Amino acid sequence: MNRRNLIATSTTVLGSALAGGCASAGADKAISGGNAGSAPMPFVLPAITIPVVGSAEVFPVRRIYCIGRNYAAHAREMGSDPTREPPFFFQKPTDAIQYLAPGKMVDHPYPSLTKNYHYEIELVAALKSGGKNIAMADALSHVYGYAIGLDMTRRDLQRGMGEEKKPWEIGKSFDMSAPIGPIHRVRDVGHFTQGGITLSVNGTVKQKANLSFMIWSVAEQISQLSQAFELKAGDIIYSGTPENVGPVVRGDVMLGHIDGLPDISVKVV
């Protein structure tokens, strides 16, 4: 059976899920926990926000969703059959965000516990609204904008937990595991259904594909996710990575590119 034919009959398979986190992505605003006059809290948590290009506003992040194995060649390199597998999703904590300003090389810390740290370049969709059971035809009307992101992965920990059939948050959902550039509003850049997506390491192209190679489009991802969760404004969706994911070590420089968006540059330290 073709994988896309499963969309009408299969239940969305959910990977490991986490609730929102509690660290800042550069904003000074704080989450107060309610309206004025609500019960006092022992402390406040900083809001997680992403700058919006061409605006003084920032985008507040509510949840980070990610889809797995959404390019056929990547699915095969991860040991799956893209013609038979329905879409599956997982979450990262909101404070996994690391903002990457265009035109700057941003230091990215090599995380603890891993000896096989992988890059995954992705298009990210940011939602301005949501709902339950969203029709695919209506899905893109909920998108506020797009950004370039990296789904950084402690691959050895992810695989180890997978082999033991245990949740693999430790491989995907850790501090600064979701680097991201600024958000570009749909009204300025349109929707991204095709265009080149590449990632280079130390000047050598490692990942190269076209957004049109996605198995599940952004609209389909939104529709499928809304069957499992009530999507809301502030949700962002990492839409999957092409083939040739691979490791980086301290000192490596990654350059991420999607046609129509400014590049992101990251140095592993």
User: Domains plus CATH for the chain?
Assistant: 3-35+43-268 (3.90.850.10)
Q: Could you write out the three-class secondary structure of the chain?
A: CCHHHHHHCCCCEECCCCCCCCCCCCCCCEECCCCCCCCCCCCCEECCEEEECCCCCEEECCEEEEECCCEHHHHHHCCCCCCCCCCEEEEECHHHEEECCCCCEEEECCCCCCCCEEECEEEEEEECCCECCCCHHHHHHHEEEEEEEECCEEHHHHHHHHHCCCCCHHHHCCCCCEEECCEEEHHHHCCCCCCEEEEEECCEEEEEEEHHHECCCHHHHHHHHHHHCCECCCEEEECCCCCCCEEECCCCEEEEEECCCCCEEEEEC
In this predicted structure, what is the pLDDT of residue 76?
A: 77
In this predicted structure, what is the pLDDT of residue 28?
A: 40
In this predicted structure, what is the pLDDT of residue 37?
A: 60
In this predicted structure, what is the pLDDT of residue 86?
A: 80
The overall average pLDDT reported for the chain is 88
In this predicted structure, what is the pLDDT of residue 15?
A: 42
- Model pTM score: 0.86
In this predicted structure, what is the pLDDT of residue 87?
A: 86
**How do residues 51-79 score in pLDDT, each as one tens digit?**
999 999 999 999 999 998 898 876 677 77
Low-confidence stretches of the chain (pLDDT beneath 50): 1, 3, 5-34
In this predicted structure, what is the pLDDT of residue 258?
A: 98
